[in-house]
């Protein structure tokens, strides 16, 4: 290090007094900035700690579905009945008007579970999540996470007095071999709304909302150019819609982003883009209703997709709670 000549003002000189005054000002400003930063940190911590959804409850729901009530695939209809009964009870406990929607596939009866909140109205909002799995796997993210979010959303709605009917639906048979068929639970529900002449303001599908990572390059995409427009770190939640429904997708994204510190990104894309229609919202598109998917992007991020390693330990319940809080905010915005 080169030598530097340090010139110090003489003690008691005018220059020294000016220097000391400047130093005192810097200290006062620094102290002010420190306490301002500390205050912001305290506000941020309080806001995070006062989330309307308890991450521990979300984890308890996911563990119940992915461990105690597993397997939840179409080959175990007796377990699907147990899951439906569990969700029915949770919706009732939250204060919803609950009913099963049974239907037959061959000789077997399957059922959706439907809970209404708010006044009975011709127009409504639907939020749904499927409770079955693809094969005899735990299905923690796919899709116990969505169902857990749905159960916690029921509690939030019960205390919010929405101005129109908000209908929560837990679907069965979303996964193969029934995906994109008339036997999907969401297809049965969407057709029943259409037959009854129900006006649907929006449908939101909760499809895998619990897997987040801060690892670099942990996010992949269905098209290479999307990596230039969206983060390559899988630490965000996505709102996905089809072309022509950009206004709905944007409204959901903005409401969610304002309600949480979790990054929220959205896309309205052609249906041929792989993954855009990979959930229950597709059934509502087919019925002519506006719908969007809220997702952690599934196999574009989560390496445990449709495997035995999709377990409760792999999920981030803190960020998942923020997703549910964001969905609640979006429902409130859409219901105005």
- Residue 191: inside a domain: yes
CA-based nearest residue to 226, from 215, 244, 238, 214: 238
Same domain, 78 and 223: yes
pLDDT at 50: 61
Q: What is the mean pLDDT of residues 69-89?
A: 98
Same domain, 42 and 73: no
Q: What gap in Å lies between CA 189 and CA 209, rounded to an integer?
A: 22
Same domain, 34 and 122: no
How many domains is the chain built from? 2
Same domain, 21 and 89: no
In the chain, % helix, strand, coil (3-state, to 5) comes to 45, 20, 40
Same domain, 139 and 25: no
Statement: residue 118 has pLDDT above 70: yes
Same domain, 58 and 74: yes
Q: What is the phi/psi pair of residue 171, to 5°? A: -95, 155
Same domain, 64 and 109: yes
Same domain, 37 and 126: no
**Residue entry with tokens 């639906």:** 169
Q: pTM for the complete prediction?
A: 0.85
- Residue 230: inside a domain: yes
- Residue 8: inside a domain: no
Interior/surface letters 134-154, b for 16+ CB within 10 angstroms, e for the rest: beebbbbbbbbbbbbbbbbbb
pLDDT at 51: 78
Statement: residue 44 has pLDDT above 60: no
CA-based nearest residue to 83, from 154, 173, 22, 195: 173
Same domain, 95 and 135: yes
Task: Give per-residue pLDDT as tens, 251-300.
Answer: 999 999 999 999 999 999 999 999 999 999 999 999 999 999 999 999 99
pLDDT at 15: 39
Return the CATH number at 95: 3.40.630.10
pLDDT at 276: 98
Same domain, 80 and 189: yes
The DSSP output letter for 13 is S
Same domain, 176 and 99: yes
Same domain, 213 and 246: yes
- With pLDDT > 70 as the criterion, what percentage of the chain qualifies? 85
- Residue 1: inside a domain: no
For residue 198, what are the domain limits?
53-334
């Amino acid at each position: 290090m080169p030598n530097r000549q340090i010139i110090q003002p003489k003690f008691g000189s005018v220059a020294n007094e000016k220097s000391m005054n400047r130093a005192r000002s810097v200290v006062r400003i620094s102290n002010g900035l420190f306490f301002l930063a500390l205050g912001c940190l305290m506000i941020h911590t309080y806001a995070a700690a006062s989330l309307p959804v308890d991450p521990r409850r979300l984890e308890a729901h996911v563990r119940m579905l992915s461990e105690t009530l597993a397997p939840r695939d179409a080959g175990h209809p007796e377990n699907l009945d147990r899951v439906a009964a569990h969700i029915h009870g949770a919706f009732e406990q939250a204060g919803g008007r609950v009913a099963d929607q049974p239907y037959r596939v061959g000789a077997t009866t399957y059922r959706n579970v439907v809970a209404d909140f708010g006044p009975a109205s011709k127009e409504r909002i639907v939020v749904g999540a499927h409770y079955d799995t693809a094969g005899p796997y735990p299905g923690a993210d796919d899709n116990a996470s969505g169902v857990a979010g749905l159960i916690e959303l029921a509690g939030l709605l019960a205390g919010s007095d929405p101005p129109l009917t908000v209908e929560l639906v837990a679907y069965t048979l979303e996964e193969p071999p029934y995906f994109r068929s008339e036997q999907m639970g969401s297809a049965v529900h969407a057709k029943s709304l259409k037959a009854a002449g129900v006006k649907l303001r929006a449908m939101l599908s909760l499809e895998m909302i619990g897997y987040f990572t801060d690892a670099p390059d942990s996010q992949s995409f269905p098209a290479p150019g999307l990596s230039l427009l969206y983060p390559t770190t899988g630490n965000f939640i996505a709102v996905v819609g089809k072309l022509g429904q950009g206004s709905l997708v944007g409204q959901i994204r903005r409401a969610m982003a304002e309600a949480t510190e979790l990054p929220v990104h959205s896309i309205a894309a052609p249906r041929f883009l792989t993954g855009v229609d990979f959930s229950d919202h597709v059934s509502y598109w087919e019925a002519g209703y506006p719908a969007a998917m809220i997702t952690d992007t599934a196999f574009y991020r989560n390496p445990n997709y449709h495997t035995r390693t999709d377990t409760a330990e792999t999920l981030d319940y803190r960020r998942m709670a923020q997703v549910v809080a964001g969905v609640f905010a979006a429902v409130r915005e859409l219901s105005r």
